[in-house]
Amino acid sequence: MAKQGSGASPSPEHLPPPPAFPPLSAALFLDLDGTLAPIMPRPEQVGPDRRRAMLMKRLAATLDGRVAVVSGRALDDLDRILEHAVTPIAAVHGLVRRDAEGHVTMATPHHGVADARLLLRDLARCDKGLQFEDKQVSVALHYRNAPGAGEAVVEAAQRIAVITGLVLQLGDMVVELRTPGQDKGQSVAAFLRERPFFGAVPIFVGDDLTDEDGFTAAARLGGYGVLVGPMRPTAASYRLDNPAAVTDWLESVVTLTPA
């Protein structure tokens, strides 16, 4: 089963930037790659950034802890990049989730992950530009450095998904075969059932097709989505140009939100 982000829909040619004054009860759900950090040729090249870590801490203080990162990356990788500045995290699209109290829950890996791991590793050996990534509950193959292999990689991943029963998650120059279960939208809903997020207005900020589930969930639950990057069909209501614009907007949230 292929999953590209179920909420994408036709949208106008232009979306405005998000309000400088979000609701006082806002909760921020933030993607990492392409949102808080620029996309890099290889995932491991995204590293810690002191300004970003301090901004996350200031946002959490401003919003009474209602800041979570929702990403396809593994939890340990997110902690490395964010320097442990954020406690609530939904990693691997929500298959691994840490709540505001620091409690971690992880889906049981689907039995098909072992077979997909072997197959994607073999594919990665066919082209030095392909990069294999193992997240325990899912496996991924990045082809940003081998764009010519993209069509073959996607076709192979589609076949593996059918054989194994895994969910095929298509992202920005990456295919991921993951254990069926939580997506980014369901992760937002799960956080909103817990303190300090309960009753908050969700704002989901992301760039990728996988973030459409987050945009859709935010809108359904009384908030909105913010698309980062070029305009495309989306369930988001607002748009920012790039991660630098996201940082500037988040800085304004910290500065302009009443104490």
Backbone angles phi, psi at 197, to 5 degrees: -85, -20
Q: State both tokens at 50.
A: 């002191």
For the chain, give the mean pLDDT.
92
**Quick one: pLDDT at residue 258?**
67
Nearest to 9 by CA among 171, 232, 235: 235
Position 145 confidence tier, pLDDT thresholds 50, 70, 90: very high
Return the active site residues. Answer: 31
Domains 2-107+182-256 and 112-178 share a fold: no
- Condensed to tens digits (0 to 9), the pLDDT of residues 47-101 reads 999 999 999 999 999 999 999 999 999 999 999 999 999 999 999 999 999 999 9
Q: What is the pTM of this model?
A: 0.89
Q: What is the pLDDT of residue 3?
A: 55
For residue 171, pLDDT over 90 is answered with no
pLDDT of residue 8: 60
The structural domains of the chain, with segments of one domain joined by +, span 2-107+182-256, 112-178
Residues 86 and 70: beta-carbon distance below 8 Å: no
Query: What single string gives the DSSP state of each residue in 58-92?
Result: HHHHHTTT-EEEE-SS-HHHHHHHHTT----EEEG
Say what the alpha-carbon torsion angle 3, 9, 14, 16 is, to the nearest 10 degrees.
Answer: -80
Q: Could you read off the pLDDT of 4-45 as tens digits, one per residue? A: 455 565 455 789 999 987 888 999 999 999 999 999 988 889
What own/partner pairs with CB < 8 Å and gap ≥ 24 does 82-86 have? 82/32, 82/48, 82/52, 82/53, 82/56, 83/48, 83/50, 83/53, 85/52, 85/53, 85/54, 85/56, 85/57, 86/56, 86/60
**pLDDT tens digit string along 127-139?**
999 999 999 999 9
C-alpha span between 111 and 217 (Å, rounded): 29
pLDDT at 23: 82
Beta-strand pair 201-206/224-228: parallel
User: Which CATH fold would you assign to the domain 2-107+182-256?
Assistant: Rossmann fold (3.40.50)
Homologous superfamily of 112-178: Trehalose-6-phosphate phosphatase related protein; domain 2 (3.30.70.1020)
Instruction: Please check whether residue 141 is in contact with residue 120, taking contact to mean a CB–CB distance below 8 angstroms.
Output: yes
